[in-house]
Structure 1
């Protein structure tokens, strides 16, 4: 497995975890507990990881010879909770890009 695929897998994992924490923990605390500190704490790292995920997906798609459809699935997965974990299992785990 190439270093770029390994780096993308790590970014995908971290992006997925940050999204889940933001969506299911920080946001409810913000609105139900009236405490926005966790959204502020997680928002910026998640945003940076999201951007890194998108850029890495586009770069890796060329090396892995993904079709436009596959790239689209990988990109859309970033906005679906647990989507990046599906991408890792389906497209990256056994990749040789």
Structure 2
């Protein structure tokens, strides 16, 4: 994995958790709006919208840079629209980056998979 790919995946990973948290908070605010006089939906909606747009931009960059297939790209996009999907995306991206580092070190040291 080259540095551009690693950077793109890291940026996507870093935005996925705040995007998921903002989505959950928006859902909580929506429930509170309907059950109490508390209405933070306009503020949380704006925050979540900004984070979602940032996620989509970084997702598109990661898709292009990492040369994902359509299935992998679709998976990461679907995870962005699920309330807790960002947490799963972060874990999967972290694992993908760790595996790439291990493979890179193995290639550099001349270790071949048997």
Same fold (TM over 0.5): yes
For residue 64 of structure 1, report the CA deviation from its aligned partner.
Answer: 1.4
- Cα distance in 2 for partners of 1:64, 1:79 equals 21
Match of 1:14 among 11, 18, 37: 18
Unmatched runs of 5 consecutive residues or more in structure 2: 101-114
Q: Match of 2:35?
A: 32
For residue 28 of structure 1, report the CA deviation from its aligned partner.
Answer: 0.9
Q: Match of 2:9?
A: 5
TM-score w.r.t. structure 2 length? 0.74
Q: Match of 2:67?
A: 65
String of CA shifts for 1:39-91, please: whole Å, max 9, x gaps. Answer: 1221111001101111111111122121101101111111111101111112x
Q: Match of 1:45?
A: 47
Unmatched runs of 5 consecutive residues or more in structure 1: none
Compute the RMSD of aligned alpha carbons: 1.8
TM-score w.r.t. structure 1 length? 0.85
For residue 4 of structure 1, report the CA deviation from its aligned partner.
Answer: 2.8
Contact 2:32 2:38 survives alignment (8 Å): yes
Equivalent residue pairs, number: 94
For residue 35 of structure 1, report the CA deviation from its aligned partner.
Answer: 2.5
Contact 2:59 2:76 survives alignment (8 Å): yes
